[in-house]
A and B are shown apart, each in its own frame.
Chain A
Amino acid sequence: MSFLREISPLVKNTFLSERDVLSICAAQIAAEIQQDERKNYNEVLDLSSGDLHRGGIKSITFVRQVLAACFYPALLEDDSLPLDVKQRADGLLRQCDGGSVGSYTDSCGIVKIKQCVSKFITRRDGGVPSSPDNIFITSGSQMLMLKLLVQSGGSCRTGVLIPVPTYATFTQALEDQGAAIIPYHLCEEQGWTLQVEELRRALHAGRRTCNPVALYICNPGNPTGIIQSRKSIEEVIRFAAEERLFLLADEVYQSCVYGEDTEFESYKKVLSEMGSTIASTVELASFNSASKGFMGECGLRGGYVELVNLDPAVKEYTRTLFSTRSSPPVGGQIALDLMTDPPKPGDPSFLTFSEVEVFGEIPGISCQPLKAGFFVFPCLHLPLRAIKWAKKKQMEPDMLYCLHLLEETGLHVRPGCEFGQRKDSYHFRFDTMEDALQRLKTFHKQFMKEFS
């Protein structure tokens, strides 16, 4: 028995993800499959996280060849590797102290890679300048920015506005830091759009109980898969300017955009085109990562944040904070280099999908059209019996649905209750793979029949 029951209250308040229940189940089923105990399907399809590789997508050869050559430079003498791989690896190794990826790097990231990132941003934004000085390479999360913004002590907590639905890890990170969460609801009926009146309502409600300081947006959205229109981005920026909020723009899915009429515009770009007062005052942190996009290298842990209009004195403190983490993982840095400066003509850099009506014909599921990202967030119209049954089992109805889905089809997806949703509405987050879709359709019909 430990006296150590008394641990940091910040940690205690972080909620335990229900994902664990599903994950444990999934692992159990996978084990049973190994022992030939399963009939309907022969593998669990893990669609529970935005992890392409886990879901079966192959990594990009060029990326892995460069990585291998950087790890083991003897390969630079090898005939089997193409010239551009060797040149790229050689160039990267020259940026490392002692010519080894085992050395520490600059705590904010290798200078040459930050230059690559800022050039990428400038290209992406049609020429809007970006300075490597404002780029900070991270190991993929937004933790360090939150550390700067959030004051946990005292009787006045920092509040952060976050969309509902939103992915659970970010909520946990906020709670972890001791921030107060101020939810604003996206409008499902209108394609999961962000309404400024709703932002305003949330902000005013938040001001009664905490000190709202930041507004978090995820564009393209997770789990919703929508892209914000330019008009909507402008509205948000204006709102942030009026109400003096720090903008946290999570843009990690920016390179997964589908459909001919949809286009991703970065917050920075739109900001730069809104007149000099707003453009030079609204503070913005924009996040991107090598985990999503066409590379999907989640395990390498590479990401960056671009800080716009940050107070120079705060920037200095940011640097010091980063220095205590030594340096970002070198594998992740290499991934970022390749992501922001991919090989030129001839290489497939982007997935191309046309806009998909994913759930057109399944009664009991309605879904906003897929525009971007990896996921859709379909709405379940569950029969009353199913809802009652779930409540009897002391479970969220969409969790019950997901557990049944897993059991019957081997599909591991995440229930809407984990992301937040309007009361009495049920969703699940789903990847759009062909095979998975088939299994889902069959299962759904059966489930609705069983509980009607």
Chain B
Amino acid sequence: MGGAGVLYSQLLYQWEEVHSLCMEVLNWSGQSLELLQTLHTGLSLQSVVSATQEASLSTLLVRNTVWRRDISASPAAQSEHLQQKMSENGALPHRGRVLTVDTMNPNVKKVDYAVRGPIVQRALQIEKELKEGVKKPFEEVIKANIGDAHAMGQRPITFFRQVMALCSYPQLLDDNKFPEDAKNRARRILQSCGGNSIGAYTTSQGIDCVRHDVAKYIQRRDGGIPSDPDNIYLTTGASDGIVTILKLLTTGEGRTRTGVMISIPQYPLYSASIAELGAVQVNYYLNEEKCWSLDISELQRSLQAAREHCNPRVLCIINPGNPTGQVQSRQCIEDVIRFAAKENLFLMADEVYQDNVYAEGCEFHSFKKVLFEMGPEYSRKIELVSFHSTSKCYMGECGFRGGYMEVINMDQEVKAQLSKLVSVRLCPPVPGQALMDLVVNCPQPGEPSYQTFMKERTAVLSALAEKAKLTEEILNTVPGISCNPVQGAMYSFPRITLPQRAINEAKAKGQAPDMFYCMKLLEDTGICLVPGSGFGQRDGTYHFRCVCLSSRVWNFLLTVCTVNR
């Protein structure tokens, strides 16, 4: 029982619940109250045990209530659980597992990632059933839940894959089927790798020459505003960078705990990471009526409310947006920067869709560019990290896990800590680093691969634009579904009006109404979408996120399926 002693401090958080639990289940005498009061004052197990004769009950309490910091179950359910434990094993479940749902990191329990959540599990199951010959009203599952371009038939950029092959198997450098510019890129990358091999670890911040190339790219993109390679960190996809920065920033307890402002609807990596790190999620709502635009007044409202219970220090923006696809205007970005300056907020700008801009009149403005064009009053002060990745845009190379982040105006000491943090995971995958290099250092006019490269890039981007328009149009023809224009990214996030009966049935099942809708849609038509509840939405509204689909897929869907209400 030695190890159990220190666990008592855990109980302090829940002593109210423990108290009522005891009263309900065990019908205790005043002695128990004494025990609990002693616990509450934080004495060690030894002194508590000596204060009471009910030693076995003490250990029972430890076994069954420890680590329940986020009791969501009703007291009745808890007591039932407690009784069950008792009857199973006597007072002390001696041979119980070390790692159970109760003893594991409680933050993990709060993690949800709708993009690959239960509906996707069901979709995979259905795929399996189809393979086994089970009859369904459809022949294939359309996985429109995840932004995976290659999975949906997009072709990789030839030049990129050629260089990757050359890097993997350098003997091919002697093969005259590969163009000279591809070979030069490969040689340059290999030279900066240990032992000239992509199989060697790199420094944890990422290959030097790649970071230099990234800095040059950013400088070109932002009209000459300088970028320091030392501020560039290569990451395992953008997700890795986002989680790392959030980790760096999460501190404090209770009222001083870090609050992270994130748009609703949002890409659920943010909510999942915030939950995992035990930070506080602070929602600000995008305006659906105005094409998902961002209102500063809403930012203000959200911040004010949050200050009552946490310490909001970070403001996350996804531009172009996921799932909403909105592309922020320059004015809006300036307003956000001004807001962040006034309220002392750290800006995280998720810009992974920066090449995916379709709508007329919309343009991608990088946060850094706007920041620096607002003059030194802002550009010297605002702390900003911007994220990019190889998974989206015209590349769609999700599997390679390539990405980078640029940190602006980060305190030098904090930066040293960041470098320490990233060194723990050794280094990002080298193929991803190499690919990122190619993205920022793509074929230039005059180079042998330039024409083919531009042709492919243009084809991909215009196909994506076409899919965006088509998806929006088609969804808007369905009664009960209304879809905002898809300005950028690669998703539609239409609103659905559900009949009250459907809502009631969903609630009876304990399901969010849009989950209920999407599940039914999946079973009846094979289309896998992600319900809006996975991204967040205003109360009483329902949505789903659907990857923008090609005309081929839409034709298939429209001839074969009827949307079931």
Contacts and interface: CB of A to CB of B under 8 A. Distances in A.
Contact of B9 (A54, A71, A156): A156
B200 A54 contact: yes
B366 to A, nearest CB: 22
A295 to B, nearest CB: 8
Nearest to B426: A169
A51 B397 CA distance: 27
Nearest to A143: B425
B98 A107 contact: no
B411 interface: yes
A2 interface: yes
A156 B6 contact: yes
B3 A148 contact: no
B429 A331 contact: yes
Given A55-B195, A300-B199, A72 B162 contact: yes
Main secondary structure of the interface of A (DSSP, over half): loop
Nearest to A71: B164
A349 to B, nearest CB: 17
Interface stretch (B48-56, B71-79, B225-233, B245-253): B245-253
Interface string A49-91: 1011111111101001101110111110010100000000000
Interface in B65-110: 67, 69, 95, 97-101, 103-106, 108-109
Contacts of A295: 199
B38 interface: no
Contacts of B480: none
Given A8-B249, A102-B398, A104-B148, A311 B200 contact: no
Contacts of A107: 116
Contacts of B162: 72
Contacts of A432: none
Interface string A300-338: 110000000111011001001101111111111000000
A100 B150 contact: yes
Interface stretch (A207-215, A249-257, A359-367, A423-431): A207-215
Contacts of B427: 299, 301
Contacts, number: 300
A246 interface: yes
Contact of B98 (A4, A59, A65, A245): A245
A98 B251 CA distance: 42
A156 B346 contact: no
Contacts of B201: 49, 51, 54, 298-299
Interface string B160-195: 011011101110100101000000000000000111
Interface residues of B, number: 105
A244 B109 CA distance: 23
B108 A4 contact: no
A228 interface: no
A331 B111 contact: no
B99 A246 contact: yes
A340 interface: no
B214 to A, nearest CB: 18
Interface of B: 2-3, 5-7, 9-10, 12-13, 67, 69, 95, 97-101, 103-106, 108-109, 111-113, 115-117, 146, 148-156, 161-162, 164-166, 168-170, 172, 175, 177, 193-195, 197-202, 236-237, 239-240, 247-252, 269, 272-273, 276, 278, 313, 344, 346, 383, 395-401, 409-411, 413-414, 416-418, 420-421, 423-432
6 contacts: A4-B313, A8-B250, A46-B194, A101-B400, A281-B97, A283-B99
* Top 9 A-B residue pairs of the complex, sorted by shortest distance between their CB atoms: A54-B194, A299-B430, A97-B151, A330-B399, A72-B165, A2-B411, A68-B169, A329-B429, A100-B150
Interface of A: 1-12, 14, 16-17, 46, 49, 51-59, 61, 64-65, 67-69, 71-75, 78, 80, 96-98, 100-105, 107, 139-141, 143, 147-156, 169, 172-173, 176, 204, 207, 209-214, 244-246, 281, 283, 295-301, 309-311, 313-314, 317, 320-321, 323-332
